[in-house]
């Protein structure tokens, strides 16, 4: 629950249009698609590698539970600190902060994934495959959407993302204080499934928006802004993975 709230908060900050309208000064090297692709690949790669390492450490028992817990807490602190810094510095991205976030984020994802897979065998692989499919569909869909449709998506994100952030926070508080069991509102039958599907749709829209921003910023924005786009895409992918993972877990509970 806490993880979802943090992701919603960070995405709500990154959704600001401040860096999307950036233009490079004359003589300043501009961003290319290759810059975005390479840096996105690096961010996703570091996150994935860190997740695999933490999953192995969590599952193998090499690290004592106390040590694993300390490392997890450190990762939480790093994720929150780097995430907030990145969100407020999208116009002046710091690669080392973004990559630190990727490593810490990946470690948490590994721990979370092992926990889910222990309770619902095979659910992590299903979530990874489903996330990859959604990312692929969004990359194709962003190329064929009309300008008017893209405008509607942007407005929807501006309204729905803060609203979902508030909902996720309230739901987390209710779960923390044992007012609601399990996943909270998400566990409430069809309503919970509908909310999860809505969150996945929201994540898909954010990814489509970021893919579209690449085309708008290539050749216009300064080259370092490719880090901002790559970071935003990473957040979208992690968002989708977490939401899909939880939805699959809920569906498995009902079998």
The domain segmentation of the chain, as residue ranges, is 2-253
**pTM of the predicted structure, to 2 decimals:** 0.88
Give yes or no for a contact between 215 and 185, defined as CB atoms under 8 angstroms apart.
Answer: no
Give yes or no for a contact between 18 and 90, defined as CB atoms under 8 angstroms apart.
Answer: yes
- pLDDT tens for 62-105 read 878 888 888 889 988 998 888 888 877 766 788 999 999 999 99
pLDDT above 90 as % of the chain: 40
61's tokens:
């028992």
C-alpha span between 32 and 224 (Å, rounded): 10
> Given pLDDT bands bounded at 50, 70 and 90, which one contains residue 16?
very low
Half-sphere exposure (Cβ direction) of 31: Cα atoms closer than 13 Å: 28
């Amino acid at each position: 629950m806490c993880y979802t709230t943090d992701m919603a908060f960070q995405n709500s900050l990154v959704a600001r249009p401040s860096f999307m309208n950036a233009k490079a000064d004359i003589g300043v090297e501009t961003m290319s698609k290759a810059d975005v692709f390479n840096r996105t690949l690096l961010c996703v790669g570091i996150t994935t590698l860190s997740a695999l390492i933490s999953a192995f450490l969590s599952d193998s028992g090499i690290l004592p539970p106390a040590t694993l817990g300390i490392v997890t807490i450190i990762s939480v602190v790093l994720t929150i600190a780097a995430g907030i810094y990145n969100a407020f510095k999208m116009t002046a991205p710091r690669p080392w902060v973004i990559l630190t976030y990727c490593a810490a984020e990946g470690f948490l994802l590994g721990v979370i994934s092992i926990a889910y897979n222990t309770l619902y065998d095979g659910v992590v692989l299903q979530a990874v495959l489903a996330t990859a499919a959604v990312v692929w569909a969004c990359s194709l869909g962003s190329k064929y959407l009309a300008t008017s449709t893209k405008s509607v998506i942007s407005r929807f994100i501006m309204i729905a993302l803060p609203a979902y952030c508030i909902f996720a926070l309230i739901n987390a508080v209710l779960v923390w204080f044992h007012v609601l069991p399990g996943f909270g509102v998400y566990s409430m039958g069809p309503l919970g499934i509908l909310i999860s599907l809505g969150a996945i749709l929201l994540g898909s829209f954010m990814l489509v928006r970021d893919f579209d921003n690449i085309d708008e910023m290539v050749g216009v924005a300064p080259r370092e802004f490719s880090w901002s786009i790559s970071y935003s895409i990473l957040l979208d992918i992690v968002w989708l993975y977490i939401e899909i993972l939880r939805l699959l877990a809920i569906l498995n509970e009902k079998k």
